[in-house]
Amino acid sequence: MLALLCLSALKEEATGLRPVCSRVEALRGLAAWSSMAVTSRAMAVSGGGKDYAGATIAGEDFSNGQYANKDFSGVDAAGTNFKNSKLRGARFFKADVAGADFSGSDLTAASFEGANLDGTKLTGSVCEGSAFSQTLETVGDISQVDFTDAVIRQDINRRLCERSDAKGVNPTTGVSTRDSLFCPD
């Protein structure tokens, strides 16, 4: 145990039964070891992983799934089918979801900052309180989407209101897309 605590303080002249490090060095080693133990324990409590972060799931079928609070940060999910999935609080930070289908999904409080949304289909999804960056402008379809309380830059919001697909009523919440974006009539 003493050798473990003193890994960083090994002395070449260790002989016999004498310690290989001083008490101060042993305490430093113990402090470093305990901080590592606390870190790994915290990771275990939180689930111990990154969910799908950084994974390649392009073109796969995640439809009708339960993915609340899952981390999809940095994921390659181009063309992936998330249709009718529960993705409340999911994180898609800097993810590539170009051409993905989120139709009918619950994206309440989901995060899409810095995500590639080129051609992504949001038709009929609930995006209440979701966070978007300027890439929201490149989404393929926003008809029947509820954007109530979503975090959207004002200039992007204005351009979304000008789109021909900024129409319809969300089938789940009963809120119109234009009303949720505060579009002028």
pLDDT score at 23: 55
Please provide the CATH number assigned to the domain covering 52-185. 2.160.20.80
Give ∠ CA 107-69-155 in degrees, rounded to 5: 40
pLDDT score at 25: 57
Average pLDDT by stretches of 10, the chain with 185 residues: 42 47 53 41 39 95 96 97 98 97 98 97 98 95 98 96 97 98 92
Question: Cα–Cα distance between 22 and 110 in angstroms, integer?
Answer: 52
In the chain, where are the structural domains located? 52-185
Nearest to 94 by CA among 109, 81, 107, 111: 111
pLDDT score at 185: 79
Nearest to 68 by CA among 97, 89, 91: 89
pLDDT score at 28: 56
pLDDT score at 19: 53
